[in-house]
Amino acid sequence: MSKTISSENGGKTAKMSDSATVESNQLQRYNPTEIEPKWQARWDADASLYAAEGHNSGKPKYYCLEMLPYPSGQLHMGHVRNYAIGDALARHMWMRGYNVLHPMGWDAFGLPAENAALKNNTPPREWTLANIAAMRKQMRRMGLSYDWSTEVTTCLPDYYRWNQWFFVKMFEAGLAYRKKSKVNWCPDCQTVLANEQVVAGRCWRHEDTIVEQRDLTQWFLRITKYSDELLDGLDKLDGWPEKVRTMQRNWIGRSEGALVDFAVDGEVKAPGCAKITVFTTRVDTIFGATSVQLAPEHAVAKAFAAEDAGLAAKIDGLLAEQRRAREAGDVGAIEKHGVDTGRLAVNPFNGERVPIWVGNYILADYGTGAIMSVPAHDERDFEFAQKYGLEVRRVIAPKAGGEEPVLPYTAEGDAVLVGSAEWTGLGCVDAQQKMAAFAQAKGFGTATVTYRLKDWGVSRQRYWGTPIPMVYCQNGHAGLEPGGVVALPESALPVLLPAQVEITQQGGSPLGRVADFVNTTCPVCSGPARRETDTMDTFVDSSWYFYRYTDASNANAPFDSEKVNYWFPIDQYIGGVEHAILHLIYSRFWTKVMRDLGLVKNDEPAARLFTQGMVIKDGAKMSKSKGNVVSPDDMIARYGADATRMYALFAAPPDRDLEWQEEGVAGISRFLSKVYRLVTKYADVASDGKQVESATGLALLRKLHQTIAKITQDFDGRWHFNTSISAIMILVNEIMANEAAMDAGEVEPQAIAAVVSGLTLLLAPFVPFAAAELWERMGYEGAVFRAAWPVADEALARENEVEIPVQANGKLVTVVKVAAGSDDDAVKAAALADEKVKARIEGKTVVKVIVVPGKLVNLVVK
RNA sequence: GCCCGGAUGGUGAAAUCGGCAGACACAGCGGACUUAAAAUCCGCAGACCCUAACCGGUCGUGGGGGUUCAAGUCCCCCUCCGGGCACCA
């Protein structure tokens, strides 16, 4: 990186003595609204500027990714913060010599486009593409270093055709399947929702809308095949926040236990209802089981109900209570009710007959929908037994013996079995394994694992999404019954989303009303067929988009595996914590599927994940209803993109919530004005290569190299860019404090040039426009963020004198100056020689002197 | 109930390994420059006590205990705030 000196300045000297220069600099006031659009135009005109080198590049790669936005049409401050973090990182890594991939795209399918269509009578595609154009423009105005040649837009066929391709692959691998089941239905969205999209019984997009349960035949992706791998993989994701890992662990909800069959005493007419299989994590307590409890929807409960109208009515009542609680989002607070069916079940361990109840607190969709009730050792069972007068029988005791435990006694760590036949005396955990093995040997049970995680329901009864590439062959053909499912071959893809579709609020997929779309032919027998009219959950789109960035225009495959294998895993993924479960678990799943299809080699999509805090205003999340929204456009118009971005990094560490205060942006703008004035003032000072010897020159270099070390460390470590920026402010303050000496010719040009260019390089990741302008003014060629990141010189950074605080009994007495690197005895001597210290220890005994090298002295006095 | 965060001046925050609490800013106050204002520059600034002023002292990182020469930082207990999970058997 050589400095080019223009001819008119060719004869300049190191001194900035003439007032003409100062005057001309007064004209060079920091004016972001002028320089930022100028640089933006230059950057926009050069597509190669931010482009990554190919996968054959000899450089080490760095994949820096921010979560792609939904194209609402407007960037909000949360985006600004997210992208300011990612952009600083990407630019820094370029300067560190990495081959950086820094892409951006659009999560462009979804319901808002249909709502807008209804409201404005605009087709969803037009509305979405216009929004994308508007937001891309905003991003360019912000100076974000995206490689637009890899842009991915999920609503375009060249992307979503690969959703369809993957779907067929999954269908062929048995990972996509259709089943009729209870599904979550949002009456506002007029569509089914995945379990992950239901929050406390409400729709994730409509906080006030209670999600209904409906019986529908839907497509599911078999994410549960990977339950264990998704769970175990979390342990290895040490670059992910613990919070996210914990949330995913909770969501997967792995629970080890046993299945045990209780035979139903007496005759049961309904098939498959002769026994009740219960799930328990505490099979060691089975001698204390005093009833069996069924969910109201359990098959055996239904069988009993079919034989007894009175019982049926009571069970219906329990079911209604359960539904009401679920819809209120308050399943945990339901008041326990139950009804005795009058029938008995046989405990296979001791042959005992216990009553069979139906309970409103038993969930049909967890475990087997049936439990054994052990009141002495389970809080819920205890509460229920108290209410209905069921027997409470204690079969677990504390290991140490001693006092009678208070019931319910739920400990299992240091507890042993009592009153449990040959199992008596065994430790609980030991007994759990042995009793499950025994049940298996005898054929009435088995050890098992259950999960909270359910398969991912991906069918949506909406228009604006990826058509599911399946047809139903009306007449059937060899090996397929009439109406059977046929996957479309690759040659029939993409199934294009028809353009002219009437969007209405009626139920059912809008595509179902498009005859041209629905009616087709079977790809196997060419007979009449009907297309699937549901579309895919938009979370399918975002589950693999970051792979497409590596090969965005590939028309023959979702991507070239060689490219993906070079770029993956993502080195740093940055986004909001709100995606901790939905997007981040789906995309982990998708990666594992692609790996098993032989498309990628990595097990996980992202090595490191960073979740930035929210941007708040007046203590609350910005929202239109609260009227506390700050528009990025306004901020940029007033203070420039650089100041807006730098403030977003300065006001708080990136992982914490950030309170937006406009005065703070103004402060950053003032700081940039100072920088601009200083750097332009000394821009023409050329290094003459002479050794720096002046005290001021050395002090400036010292501060510069300390700042380089500090900021490099921040990028490598904690990302506390608020402190990086404060370090740059300290450097600028130091330069300003020495301005008079610099102007008086007391500082070597070498030092001035080094400090001013170093400062500009350090600023480049945070304020790209200003840094680019200043870099050019200094006469350097090439982009500043492709210049080499400065390396801290330890020798130059080292202080030659250090201040050592001296304490007496831990309280500060004074601060003494000693030469850096002084040994402990010298530091101790200096401390004891100090007048204030002498006065403090006068007449007292110094019991002990603690010297912490380079840090402090503490005198223990009595 | 369980699991993750968090609580430091008027405000945002800093203190990365147990070593000067409050760096750097914002808001504020005082001064210089100016006819004046803006802009800019310089200075003050945790609370309380003492003092005419200096000097000096005490307290202080949500609360209470503890470990240590030394605690915002480590240990125990508690409060409050944010987030996640939850009759999951």
Residue whose CA lies closest to nucleotide B88 C1': A366
Give the tokens for residue A478: 């060899």
Q: Does any strand B atom come closer than 7 Å to the Cβ of A253?
A: yes
Q: Does any strand B atom come closer than 7 Å to the Cβ of A656?
A: yes
Strand A212-221 relative to strand A176-186: parallel, antiparallel, unpaired? antiparallel
Q: Does any strand B atom come closer than 7 Å to the Cβ of A812?
A: yes
Q: Give the tens place of pLDDT for each residue, A363-386.
A: 888 889 999 999 999 988 998 999
Structure confidence at residue A331 (pLDDT): 61
Structure confidence at residue A28 (pLDDT): 62
Mean pLDDT to the nearest integer, A286-290: 95
Structure confidence at residue A18 (pLDDT): 37
Tell me the DSSP string of A807-847: EETTEEEEEEEEETT--HHHHHHHHHH-HHHHHHHTTS-EE
Q: Does any strand B atom come closer than 7 Å to the Cβ of A233?
A: no
Q: Does any strand B atom come closer than 7 Å to the Cβ of A733?
A: yes
Of A578, A587, A579, the residue nearest A605 (C-alpha): A587
Q: Does any strand B atom come closer than 7 Å to the Cβ of A334?
A: yes
Q: Give the tens place of pLDDT for each residue, A427-475.
A: 998 999 999 999 999 999 999 998 989 899 999 888 999 999 999 999 9
Secondary structure (3-state) at A450: strand
Q: Give the tens place of pLDDT for each residue, A822-857.
A: 888 889 888 888 888 888 887 788 888 999 888 899
Could you tell me if residue A256 is left (phi over 0), alpha (psi between -120 and 50 degrees) or otherwise beta?
beta
Q: Does any strand B atom come closer than 7 Å to the Cβ of A841?
A: no
Q: Does any strand B atom come closer than 7 Å to the Cβ of A696?
A: no
What is the Cα gyration radius of chain A?
Answer: 35
pTM of the model: 0.91
> Band of the pLDDT at A333, cuts 50, 70, 90?
low
Please give residues of chain A from 596 to 655 whose alpha-adjacent beta carbon (CB) lies under 7 Å from any atom of strand B: 650-653
Q: Give the tens place of pLDDT for each residue, A785-797.
A: 999 999 999 999 9
Structure confidence at residue A506 (pLDDT): 67
Q: Give the tens place of pLDDT for each residue, A203-233.
A: 777 777 778 888 889 999 999 999 999 999 9
CA A736 to chain centre: 42
Helices (H), A205-270: 227-236, 242-252
Q: Does any strand B atom come closer than 7 Å to the Cβ of A450?
A: yes
Residue A179 phi/psi, 5° resolution?
A: -155, 155
Please, are residues A789 and A54 in contact by the beta-carbon 8 Å criterion? no
CA of A26 to C1' of B37 (A): 20
> Band of the pLDDT at A330, cuts 50, 70, 90?
low
Amino acid symbol at A628: N
Q: Does any strand B atom come closer than 7 Å to the Cβ of A842?
A: no
Does residue A47 surpass a pLDDT of 90?
Answer: no
> Band of the pLDDT at A131, cuts 50, 70, 90?
very high
Please give residues of chain A from 10 to 49 whose alpha-adjacent beta carbon (CB) lies under 7 Å from any atom of strand B: none
Residue whose CA lies closest to nucleotide B86 C1': A332
> Band of the pLDDT at A293, cuts 50, 70, 90?
very high
**Between these two residues, A403 and A564, which has the higher pLDDT value?**
A564
Please, are residues A221 and A176 in contact by the beta-carbon 8 Å criterion? yes
> Band of the pLDDT at A25, cuts 50, 70, 90?
very low
Please give residues of chain A from 383 to 402 whose alpha-adjacent beta carbon (CB) lies under 7 Å from any atom of strand B: 383
What sign does the dihedral A616-A618-A619-A620 (CA atoms) show? negative
Mean pLDDT to the nearest integer, A677-690: 90
3-state secondary structure A488-536: CCHHHCCCCCCCCCCCCCCCCCHHHHCHHHHEEECCCCCCEEEECCCEE
> Which residues make beta-bridge pairs with A860?
A848
A554 vs A827: CA distance, rounded Å: 68
CA of A723 to C1' of B54 (A): 36
Q: Does any strand B atom come closer than 7 Å to the Cβ of A860?
A: yes
Please give residues of chain A from 336 to 355 whose alpha-adjacent beta carbon (CB) lies under 7 Å from any atom of strand B: 336
Structure confidence at residue A11 (pLDDT): 30
Secondary structure (3-state) at A370: strand
Does residue A7 surpass a pLDDT of 80?
Answer: no
Please, are residues A769 and A42 in contact by the beta-carbon 8 Å criterion? no
Q: Give the tens place of pLDDT for each residue, A735-787.
A: 999 999 999 999 999 999 999 999 999 999 999 999 999 999 999 999 999 99
Q: Does any strand B atom come closer than 7 Å to the Cβ of A658?
A: yes
A98 vs A89: CA distance, rounded Å: 11
Strand A99-101 relative to strand A61-66: parallel, antiparallel, unpaired? parallel
Dihedral of the alpha carbons of A656, A73, A150, A84, in degrees to the nearest 10: -30
CA of A131 to C1' of B22 (A): 46
User: DSSP character for A53?
Assistant: P
Please, are residues A789 and A762 in contact by the beta-carbon 8 Å criterion? no
3-state secondary structure A610-636: EEECCEEECCEECCCCCCCCCCHHHHH
Q: Does any strand B atom come closer than 7 Å to the Cβ of A55?
A: no
CA of A579 to C1' of B63 (A): 36
Structure confidence at residue A272 (pLDDT): 87
Task: Please count the other Cβ atoms lying within 10 Å of the Cβ belonging to residue A699.
Answer: 18
**Exposed e or buried b for every residue in A837-850, given b needs 16+ CB within 10 A?**
beebbeeeeeeebe
CA of A732 to C1' of B27 (A): 22
Q: Does any strand B atom come closer than 7 Å to the Cβ of A839?
A: no
Q: Does any strand B atom come closer than 7 Å to the Cβ of A847?
A: no
CA of A673 to C1' of B31 (A): 23
CA of A451 to C1' of B89 (A): 13
A68 vs A43: CA distance, rounded Å: 22
A417 vs A427: CA distance, rounded Å: 6
Give the tokens for residue A121: 């009578």
> Which residues make beta-bridge pairs with A445?
A260
Q: Give the tens place of pLDDT for each residue, A697-716.
A: 999 999 999 999 999 999 99
Q: Give the tens place of pLDDT for each residue, A589-622.
A: 999 999 999 999 999 999 999 999 989 887 778 8
Positions on chain B within 7 A of a protein C-beta = 3-5, 11-16, 19-21, 23-27, 39-42, 58, 69-71, 83-89
CA of A247 to C1' of B85 (A): 8
Does residue A19 surpass a pLDDT of 70?
Answer: no
Q: Give the tens place of pLDDT for each residue, A629-639.
A: 899 999 999 99
Does residue A24 surpass a pLDDT of 60?
Answer: no
Secondary structure (3-state) at A219: strand
Q: Give the tens place of pLDDT for each residue, A160-210.
A: 999 999 999 999 999 999 998 878 888 888 888 877 777 777 777 777 777
Structure confidence at residue A65 (pLDDT): 96
| Percentage of the residues of chain A whose pLDDT score is greater than 70 | 95
A649 vs A643: CA distance, rounded Å: 10
Could you tell me if residue A663 is left (phi over 0), alpha (psi between -120 and 50 degrees) or otherwise beta?
alpha
Q: Whole-number mean pLDDT of chain A?
A: 90
Structure confidence at residue A642 (pLDDT): 97
Structure confidence at residue A813 (pLDDT): 87
CA of A653 to C1' of B14 (A): 11
Structure confidence at residue A611 (pLDDT): 92
Q: Does any strand B atom come closer than 7 Å to the Cβ of A715?
A: no
How open is the CA angle A543-A548-A549, to the nearest 5 degrees? Answer: 115
- Distant-in-sequence, close-in-space partners of A722: CB < 8 Å, separation ≥ 6: A649, A650, A651, A652, A653
Task: Please count the other Cβ atoms lying within 10 Å of the Cβ belonging to residue A42.
Answer: 13
A28 vs A680: CA distance, rounded Å: 7
CA of A657 to C1' of B77 (A): 29
**A555 exposure class (CB count in 10 Å sphere: 0-12, 13-18, 19+):** exposed
Nucleotide nearest to A665 (CA to C1'): B26
